[in-house]
Amino acid sequence: MNELNEETRCEIVKSIKAEYDARAAFGLGKYGITLSEHYADIFKRLQHLKEELMDATLYIEWTMIKMSDQETEKQKLISDIETIQFELSSVCQEVEPCVNVVSKIETTCGNCENPIGNNFKFCPHCGCKIKYE
Ligand SMILES: [Zn+2]
């Protein structure tokens, strides 16, 4: 069994092989010859490689700037959320005493002053009709 000739199970390797095939087909269509048929001396080959590496550094820089912009945007969103949380907290502190007052009115029988459930029409302790103001 020759393992080198076996089809890989790795989807990443399969994907990149497909891209090599597509680039080879594109190059053959564009230049009419394969890379192995193309003559270039060692300096021309190194010049091609240098230019490809220069392009690679541009792609790295482009991606890093994009990531940096996204991180800045993310930090701005986090800051906005923290501001909203703080403002909501302030509103809750202002509203809480009012809620407590309303809650007290609604949960105490005006006749026997025993606690009752919200929206009860009659007191379960004394049977008195509950009046809501
Ligand atoms: Zn009562």
Three-class SS state of 129: strand
DSSP-derived letter for residue 130 is: P
Average the pLDDT over 77-85 and give the result.
96
Question: Does the pLDDT of residue 17 top 80, yes or no?
Answer: yes
What range does the domain containing 12 cover? 1-39
Taking the centre of ligand 1 as the mean of its atom positions, its distance from the CA of residue 101, in whole angstroms, is 19
Mean pLDDT for the chain?
89
**Total domain count, the chain:** 1
**Domain assignment present for 35:** yes
pLDDT band of 1, cuts 50, 70, 90: very low
Taking the centre of ligand 1 as the mean of its atom positions, its distance from the CA of residue 100, in whole angstroms, is 20
Name, in order, each residue with C-beta under 8 angstroms of 35's C-beta and a sequence gap of 6 or more: 24, 27
Taking the centre of ligand 1 as the mean of its atom positions, its distance from the CA of residue 102, in whole angstroms, is 18
Cα distances from 110 to residues 41, 105, 123, 126, in angstroms, run: 102, 8, 9, 10
Question: Does the pLDDT of residue 6 top 80, yes or no?
Answer: no
In 3D space, the residue among 125, 108, 127 whose CA is nearest the CA of residue 117 turns out to be 108
Taking the centre of ligand 1 as the mean of its atom positions, its distance from the CA of residue 117, in whole angstroms, is 11
**Domain assignment present for 7:** yes
Average the pLDDT over 92-120 and give the result.
79
**Domain assignment present for 74:** no
**Domain assignment present for 118:** no
* This prediction's pTM: 0.50
Average the pLDDT over 72-95 and give the result.
94
Taking the centre of ligand 1 as the mean of its atom positions, its distance from the CA of residue 105, in whole angstroms, is 13
In 3D space, the residue among 28, 29, 26, 25 whose CA is nearest the CA of residue 37 turns out to be 28
Average the pLDDT over 81-99 and give the result.
90
pLDDT band of 89, cuts 50, 70, 90: very high
In 3D space, the residue among 95, 130, 96, 90 whose CA is nearest the CA of residue 110 turns out to be 130
